[in-house]
Structure 1
Amino acid sequence: MANDILKGLNVAILVTDGFEQVELTEPRKALDEAGATTKIVSPKPGRIRAWNFTDWSIELPVDVDLDQAKPEDFDALLLPGGVINPDSLRMKPNAVAFAKAFFDAGKPVAAICHGPWTVIETGAAHGRRMTSWPSLKTDLKNAGADWVDQVAVVDKGLVTSRSPDDLPAFNQETIKLFSEARGRRHAA
């Protein structure tokens, strides 16, 4: 992927404790390498803990406390999965409102694995073609989404993938989608 394709793009990564480690670190690395500026936004100040498949793992610093974060300061949103992280986020009205603001503004969003739980809470799953970890299939269908079992799905400004196994395709489609939004924040 070409370096600097995302230069000038500010990406919010909305997470809290229990995010799946590779679902944050690998997309973040790909976005950073493409020239984006990525910031971890969290309702938990200080540091957040990753989940690494079956156990707790690394801690990462929070760049912006959710209470201080402004969606208008970002061009795109990344929603990593892990079971604990999106289940916690979807119960926090300020996290749901933050994510919803991206959909309302027509900004691109990328969600992997269990990340679509947050998308469901925003109301943005309705009418979209999406994929996810298989256990979310019924949740997404009940929210009005057309669930499909594919590596990566892009529909109406949202890219979704099923699992860490899909990260290469997820990263590629995320960068492609996010590149279309480059500079939109400043043009508005």
Structure 2
Amino acid sequence: MKGNKVILIVQEVLMYVAQAPYLLALIFLFANVDVEGFVGISLIVGMISNLVIFPVVIVNAILAFIGIFKGLKSPIKTTMIVKLSLIPWYVVNFILGFCFFAAALNPFLLWSIPLVIGIMVCTTFMYMISTNFQVYSYVINKLIRREIRIDALLVWSIVLSFIFCLDIVSSILLFYSENKLNKTEGEA
């Protein structure tokens, strides 16, 4: 299903687009320039553009769920490429999270620190997991059809896909595992 790859790439592009207003707000804050409330407007636009990503994530989840029963072409290579290309997004996201945390250190805003951290961690985790939906679907389909067996590498790569930063390692492990499996099938 070509739509699965397209939705994954659309999600990646939207993630970068949603991050741009936050970066602009941060640049204007550090430059100590606020052109007619531009910083506030940028933050609001960033929040709205993040809300636009949620339907894309839901469509991605639905397509992945359908893929469990229909079967998919291997999304592992595409997922690995997307994960690797999202490394700058995760770095900037961490910097933005730190800046929002630092901004909440004002004595009147201390109550908001758990909220800021919670929102940043939850949205980042949701984006991280959603880029793996198709891989989970593919692996479940292959396990149901008994085309692959559970081995240590598969288990580790699935477990690592739920941990920040290590999800990228997991996509590389899955890619390596799939290539190794394809080579042994070709020799047999």
TM value normalised by structure 1: 0.28
TM value normalised by structure 2: 0.28
Bigger radius of gyration among the two: 2
More helix by share: 2
